Amino acid sequence: MLESYFPVLLFMLLALLVGVLPVALGRILAPHRPDAEKLSAYECGFPPFADARLKFNVRYYLIAILFILFDLEIAFLFPWGAVYRDAAAAPSVAAFAAAEAGIFVLILLLGDAYAWARGALDWE
């Protein structure tokens, strides 16, 4: 029974070796001579002129979350579109699949309208 897991163990050891060995070899063999210029912060070729830990407006995060949310929901429509061609062969299944996609898009539009009404998309 346990001999059937040997290839899995071997694969995990090989993956660990491939992941850790180059990093360990680089750490051991590479020269390590830090100086003030190498240890300084790099900001587009200029010396840093402010602290890197600035507070961002929460709207940036809100727009990013809304983008990810709607992007993922649109990504769910691609498999539906790929399967719909096969589902369209039977009229009853095609109507059901189209209704399901319509409900999904309606939920997307309601979420978008809610975010818009709450002012999440306004950028003063």
The pLDDT score that the predictor gives to residue 23 is: 95
Per-residue pLDDT 10s for the chain (124 aa) are: 778 899 999 999 999 999 999 999 999 999 888 887 777 766 666 666 666 677 777 778 878 888 888 788 888 888 888 888 777 788 788 888 888 889 988 988 898 888 889 887 777 6
**Other beta carbons less than 10 A from residue 94's beta carbon:** 15
Token pair of 107 as six digits: 């939920």
For position 34, what pLDDT does the model report? 84
| Residue 52, pLDDT score | 64
The per-residue DSSP string of the chain comes to -GGGGHHHHHHHHHHHHHHHHHHHHHHHHS-----HHHHS--BTTB---S-S-PPPPHHHHHHHHHHHHHHHHHHHHHHHHHHHHHHTTSHHHHHHHHHHHHHHHHHHHHHHHHHHHTTTT---
pTM: 0.47
pLDDT at residue 29, rounded to an integer: 94
Domain ranges in the chain are 2-39, 58-117
108: CB partners within 8 A, 6+ apart: 70, 73
